[in-house]
Amino acid sequence: MERYLRNKGSITQSQQDLLAQRHVVVLGCGGLGGSIAESLARIGVGKLTLVDDDVFVESNLNRQRFSTLKSIGLSKVEVAKEKLSDINDQVSVVAKKVYIDSSNITLLTKGCDLVIDALDNFVTRRIIEDANLPVPIISAAVAGYNGWLTISKPGYKNIKHLCSYMNKGVEQIFGNLSFTVNILAELEVSLAIRTLLSEELSFHGFYFVDLKSLEIEKIEIIE
């Protein structure tokens, strides 16, 4: 298919066919989630479920992929679904304007192959990990020029290392910069595609990204 011509060389036809059968749930459809959803759709993941109860506000415009002046006040997942259908009509997109909590996380992710955490707070991230989902979770967060990224197969608990008992981190001081958000989003996508193609990438720990020194450091934690 002409659409995936430039995937070739790195993604074989059989892998492309495999991606078309995969279902990814993206939790959060803001800075990280919007970019992740777009990349997954462009590369050819067959089904995406986007979950976020939020609407676009003006302060999203500095970084969030689908935010525009016209989309302020509109549901993030509904806007994303519409934009994604313009990008790749081969992808099935389900938009769920739902607040994620411990009572619905299992149902929201039922039947998927992979969960991507693109959230913006510690409380919900912990809920996802504590749900003991039967699929891998790829997770990332940003603040200023920094971010972390991790992947946990079932049974691994990497997110707990990174979550404080507060709900927010130093992004409240240093903000959420467009380039940091997008780089971390694409790093999540790169791990997602390799995971969907059956590479085993989980480890105990995380990657820490510093865009001032242009470094990605692998931090292994001894349990």
Partner 1 sequence: MVEVRLFAYFRNNRGKIVYVDPNQYSNVQMILDHLGINLSDVQILLVNGRHTHAQHELKENDIVALFPPVAGG
Cβ-based nearer residue to partner 1, 89 or 217: 217
List of residues contacting partner 1 (CB under 8 A): 28, 30-33, 118-122, 125, 140-148, 161-164, 166-171, 173-176, 181, 205, 208, 210, 212-213, 217, 219-222
Cβ-based nearer residue to partner 1, 10 or 164: 164
* Minimal distance, residue 134 CB to partner 1, in Å: 24
* Minimal distance, residue 53 CB to partner 1, in Å: 14
* Minimal distance, residue 13 CB to partner 1, in Å: 34
CB 144 within 8 A of CB 170: yes
* Minimal distance, residue 131 CB to partner 1, in Å: 18
Cβ-based nearer residue to partner 1, 17 or 217: 217
Cβ-based nearer residue to partner 1, 11 or 181: 181
Cβ-based nearer residue to partner 1, 14 or 164: 164
* Minimal distance, residue 142 CB to partner 1, in Å: 5
CB 209 within 8 A of CB 183: yes
Give 121-126 contacts, CB < 8 A, sequence gap 24+.
121/167, 121/168, 122/163, 122/164, 122/165, 122/166, 122/167, 122/168, 122/169, 123/167, 124/27, 124/100, 125/159, 125/162, 125/163, 126/159, 126/160, 126/163
